[in-house]
């Protein structure tokens, strides 16, 4: 009767927590713990991340350059003294300039050829757009890192819960083996084997707990928090969208148009085209306007004006500048086309991997895991009735453990592929 009670207790052991989601809600959270959802962590990371703060300041610096990019150069003021003769009594020293000299006060302003200032401003605007988009790219990469670390943290919890539930079953099985041995129905080796299997599972729990702590440290580092700052002990997995809602063609188009790297390259192309146009404007002269007043013999006698311009005779200088600008614009366009092609391939790879992982999950949940559970219970029942050996129970237990781990791995694989897709398209799905 005692043996039967042990067997019934083992059969009625709860399923793994990763399948039922019952254990998490009973855990007491530490004060100040964050991470109930990944969105909470992402919000903190965007606020606290030094990388995001640096990119924000760089974007602000690039934007500040726009107003001054098309400005005129500072005007020049000059004072000239003409007809300043030497002192006849003092040799070569100049005489008193207060008399018998002509003084000219001039102000001059450089004026670039028409259109050059606008092009300089447009080049700076393209640089500001690129800096703002690069800030988005930094945030996009940070979000992906947080999501991956959160998935690792969640997977470690799932594995620990599954191991602890199976460990509870093994504890019951060990007691059953001891009871059978005490009634001369079993072997001493059975008790030893059960103890060894429990020790192996205890080792796995220790190892997985270390992985959980590593994931927690990684998350805190991304959030710029103390490495030992508390996180919730009930991480909620992100929902995986149904494959029917993830159209491959639409995802590819979105990646090739909205990916921050692609958008930044568009700003680079725009800036390069404007630089080429500015280099071609180098064939046109710039001007300098000068106006002044003339003072002679202590009285202001008149005014003067002057127009000067540079002569663009340096052929090699102009052609080299234009050639460089054209090459840079062509390289930027080619780089964008190449990256767009790579994005298409990467989206397809991630989409196929996600679809495959969903199919594997279905097989595990609907076939392999239930069969492993049935096999374990059948072996345990057979051992209770003396129709099978403990080794059969332990083999079925190992198969059940492997099925649990396979499911956890494929769930993590789905999270990884979802993060990859979201990083490529530049936003949540």
How confident is the model at residue 351, as a pLDDT?
92
Q: Which residue has the tokens 């713990």?
A: 33
- Cα distances (Å, whole numbers) of residue 179 to 2, 3, 117, 172: 8, 6, 93, 11
Secondary structure in 3-state letters for 184-210: CCCCHHHHHHHHHHHHHHHHHHHHHHH
How confident is the model at residue 299, as a pLDDT?
76
User: What's the CA gap between 374 and 402, in Å, rounded?
Assistant: 14
Beta-carbon-side half-sphere exposure of residue 44 (alpha carbons within 13 Å)? 19
DSSP for 265-290, written as a single string: HHHHHHHHHHHHHHHHGGGSPPEEEE
How confident is the model at residue 180, as a pLDDT?
67
Q: In the chain, what are the domains?
A: 2-73+115-283+315-425 (1.20.1600.10)
User: What's the CA gap between 429 and 216, in Å, rounded?
Assistant: 25
User: pTM, whole model, 2 decimals?
Assistant: 0.76
Identify the DSSP state of 364.
Answer: I
User: What's the CA gap between 265 and 268, in Å, rounded?
Assistant: 5
Contact 158, 408 (CB under 8 A): yes
Q: Which of 393, 403, 404 is nearest to 174 (CA)?
A: 393
User: What's the CA gap between 196 and 209, in Å, rounded?
Assistant: 20
Task: Please give the average pLDDT of every successive group of 10 residues along the chain, which has 429 residues.
Answer: 38 39 49 77 86 86 83 84 64 58 84 84 86 87 90 88 82 72 66 78 87 89 85 81 87 87 86 84 84 80 84 79 83 86 90 91 88 83 74 80 88 90 85
Contact 403, 376 (CB under 8 A): no
How confident is the model at residue 94, as a pLDDT?
56
Buried b (16+ CB within 10 A) or exposed e, 246-284: beeeebbebbbeebbbbbbbbbbbbbbbbbbbbbebbee
How many other β-carbons are positioned within 10 Å of the β-carbon of residue 340?
17
- Cα distances (Å, whole numbers) of residue 405 to 193, 197, 249, 283, 381: 22, 17, 33, 70, 24
Contact 255, 424 (CB under 8 A): yes
Dihedral sign computed on CA atoms, order 120, 122, 125, 127:
negative
Q: Which of 73, 59, 54 is nearest to 124 (CA)?
A: 59
Contact 11, 377 (CB under 8 A): yes
Contact 83, 101 (CB under 8 A): yes
Identify the DSSP state of 368.
Answer: I
Structure tokens at 109: 């302003």
Query: In the structure, how many helices (H) and strands (E) does the chain have?
Result: 11, 4
Contact 142, 307 (CB under 8 A): no
Q: Which of 56, 73, 169 is nearest to 397 (CA)?
A: 169
User: What's the CA gap between 361 and 414, in Å, rounded?
Assistant: 9
Q: Which of 326, 308, 307, 316 is nearest to 283 (CA)?
A: 316
- Give the chain's largest Cα–Cα span: 140
Per-residue pLDDT reduced to its tens digit, 73-91: 888 888 887 766 665 555 5
User: What's the CA gap between 396 and 409, in Å, rounded?
Assistant: 20
How many other β-carbons are positioned within 10 Å of the β-carbon of residue 133?
22
How confident is the model at residue 348, as a pLDDT?
92
- Cα distances (Å, whole numbers) of residue 43 to 147, 233, 401: 12, 19, 36
Structure tokens at 69: 């990019």
Contact 258, 268 (CB under 8 A): no
The helix-helix angle for 315-363 and 248-258 (nearest 10°) equals 150
């Amino acid at each position: 009767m005692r043996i039967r009670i042990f067997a019934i207790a083992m059969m009625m052991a709860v399923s793994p927590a990763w399948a039922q989601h019952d254990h998490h809600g009973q855990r007491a959270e530490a004060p100040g713990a964050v991470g109930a959802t990944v969105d909470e962590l992402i919000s903190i990371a965007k606020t606290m991340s030094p990388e995001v703060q640096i990119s924000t300041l760089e974007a602000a610096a690039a934007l500040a350059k726009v107003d001054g990019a098309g400005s005129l150069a500072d005007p020049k003021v000059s004072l000239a003294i003409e007809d300043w003769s030497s002192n006849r009594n003092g040799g070569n020293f100049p005489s008193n300039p207060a008399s018998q000299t002509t003084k000219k006060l001039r102000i001059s302003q450089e004026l670039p050829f028409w259109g050059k200032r606008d092009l300089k401003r447009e080049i700076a605007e393209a640089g500001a757009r690129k800096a703002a988009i690069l800030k988005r790219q930094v945030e996009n990469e940070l979000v992906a890192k947080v999501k991956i670390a959160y998935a690792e943290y969640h997977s470690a919890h799932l594995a620990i819960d599954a191991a602890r539930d199976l460990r509870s079953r093994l504890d019951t099985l060990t007691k059953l083996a001891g009871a059978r041995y005490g009634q001369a129905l079993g072997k001493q080796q059975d008790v030893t084997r059960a103890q060894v299997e429990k020790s192996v599972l205890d080792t796995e729990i220790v190892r997985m707990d270390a992985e959980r702590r590593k994931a927690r440290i990684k998350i805190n580092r991304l959030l710029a928090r103390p490495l030992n700052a508390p996180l919730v002990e009930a991480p909620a997995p992100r929902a995986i969208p149904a494959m029917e809602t993830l159209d491959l063609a639409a995802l590819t188009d979105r990646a090739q148009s909205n990916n921050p790297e692609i958008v930044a390259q568009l700003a680079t192309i725009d800036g390069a085209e404007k630089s080429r146009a500015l280099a071609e404007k180098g064939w046109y002269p710039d001007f300098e306007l000068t106006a002044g007043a003339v003072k002679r013999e202590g009285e202001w006698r008149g005014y003067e004006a002057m127009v000067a311009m540079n002569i663009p005779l340096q052929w090699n200088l102009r052609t080299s500048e234009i050639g460089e600008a054209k090459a840079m614009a062509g390289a930027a366009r080619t780089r964008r086309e190449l990256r767009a092609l790579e994005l298409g391939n990467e989206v397809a790879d991630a989409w196929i991997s996600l679809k495959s992982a969903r199919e594997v999950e279905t097989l595990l949940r609907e076939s392999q895991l239930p069969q492993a559970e049935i096999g374990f219970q059948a072996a345990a029942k057979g051992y209770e009735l003396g129709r099978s050996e403990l080794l059969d129970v332990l083999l079925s237990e190992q198969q059940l453990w492997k099925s649990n781990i396979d499911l956890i791995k494929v769930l993590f694989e789905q999270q990884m592929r979802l993060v990859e897709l979201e990083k490529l398209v530049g936003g949540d799905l």
